[in-house]
Every structure is written in C-alpha cells, then in structure tokens.
Amino acid sequence: DEFKEKIDIRLGYEADWLPNYLDKRVLDAKVDYLIGSVHFIDKWGFDNPEFIGEFKNRDLDQIWQEYFDAIEQMAKSGYYNIVGHLDLMKIFNFRPKKDIRVIAKSALKAIKNSGMAVEINAAGLRKPVKELYPSKALLQECYALDIPITFGSDAHKVADIGFAYKEATELAREVGYSQSVSYKDKERQLHKF
C-alpha cells in the first residue's frame, strides 16, 4: 500500500502452449496479460540442458518448422496477448539451414492476425546463445508486418529484473521501432521509448 501511488504493478502469466492441455483456470484468470510460449516439441523440453542431446538426433530444419507451427497454432488460439521469446529454439545455438524468415513466415502472419505482441526477451543473453530473443532478422519481419513489441527480462530472480533493457531497446530502434506496448486488464497501451 505504501507505494501504490508510485508503482503500477501489473499481473501476468507466462503459459506454455500445450494444445492437449489448456488449463482454463490460467487462460480465464483475471490478469493484465498472458504470455504464450512454446517450450516443448511433443514431449521434448528442448530448452532444458538435460535434453540437449536430442538436437543431434533430429533434423534441425524439421524441428524449427515444428516449433514455428506450434507458435502459429498458439497465435490462432486467441488466448494470449504476447508471444514469449519468439525463437527460443536457438537457446543452445542449434540453427536451421533454411532461412529463419521463411520458416517463421506463417507463424508471424498468425501473430499479426491475432493482434498479439512479440516480446523482446533478454534471457538469451544469459544462455549459451548469448543473444536476445528474437533475432534481428525475425524482429525486422515483425516490424515489416507492424507487429507490436514489448520488453521482458524473463527474470527468475530479483537481480535479473530489467536485465539488458538498454540492449533490447537499442535492437528495437535499429529495426525501426519507437514504441512498445504493455497491457492492463488485457487492453493494450502504447509507450514511446
């Protein structure tokens, strides 16, 4: 209560896209926003270091396509406001041979058509990939489609709150963005940065 006039605290959830298990308690929760993320291809938790070996057992172009197919399905569901870490699949630096913009094209159109924003997520700088999510190439595609952005540090501890905000805004500006969005009661608000 002491800071309620100075700090506007918003509540949001990051919810996995698991098409066979959508918990209505989460999807219908009274929150300011929902971030939809893909962390699994079938039952493979691809961002878990414990399962990194699976990358060597699969065709990289195929898993990247499956990943963006899941992003597309998630966007078309209409449940979420924001796409979290759009190219999380690059976490351990396993990249597709095909052009990522071609692989992601349908997913990006679905994101645009759903009215979702894409998160510029700083967590990749703390991971083996050592870069922001999404890549500059994907962010350029988002900009060309007029998909709004939001910023996230993906903080799992207090010290990471606001992590790499400067780098994230610099990337956004390089691509052409000058505004980001936030949400209150699932209504979009614009902010210049």
Q: By mean pLDDT, which of 23-27, 36-40, 76-80, 141-145 is the weakest?
A: 23-27
At residue 3, does pLDDT exceed 90?
no
In a domain, 161, yes or no: yes
At residue 1, does pLDDT exceed 90?
no
Question: Looking at the 3D structure of the chain, how many domains does it have?
Answer: 1
In a domain, 79, yes or no: yes
In a domain, 117, yes or no: yes
Q: Which tens digits make up the pLDDT trace of 145-191?
A: 999 999 999 988 899 999 999 999 999 999 999 999 999 999 999 99
**Segments forming the whole domain that contains residue 71:** 12-192
In a domain, 6, yes or no: no
Tell me what the mean pLDDT of segment 63-87 comes to. Answer: 98
At residue 101, does pLDDT exceed 80?
yes
In a domain, 66, yes or no: yes
At residue 19, does pLDDT exceed 90?
no
Tell me what the mean pLDDT of segment 93-107 comes to. Answer: 98
pLDDT band (50, 70, 90) for residue 108: very high
In a domain, 1, yes or no: no
Average pLDDT, the chain: 96
In a domain, 4, yes or no: no
Give the closest residue to 80 by CA, choosing from 29, 119, 39, 27: 27
At residue 75, does pLDDT exceed 80?
yes
In a domain, 131, yes or no: yes
The CATH number that applies at residue 127 is: 3.20.20.140
Question: Can you give the pLDDT at residue 143?
Answer: 99
Q: Which tens digits make up the pLDDT trace of 109-142?
A: 999 999 999 999 999 999 999 999 999 999 999 9
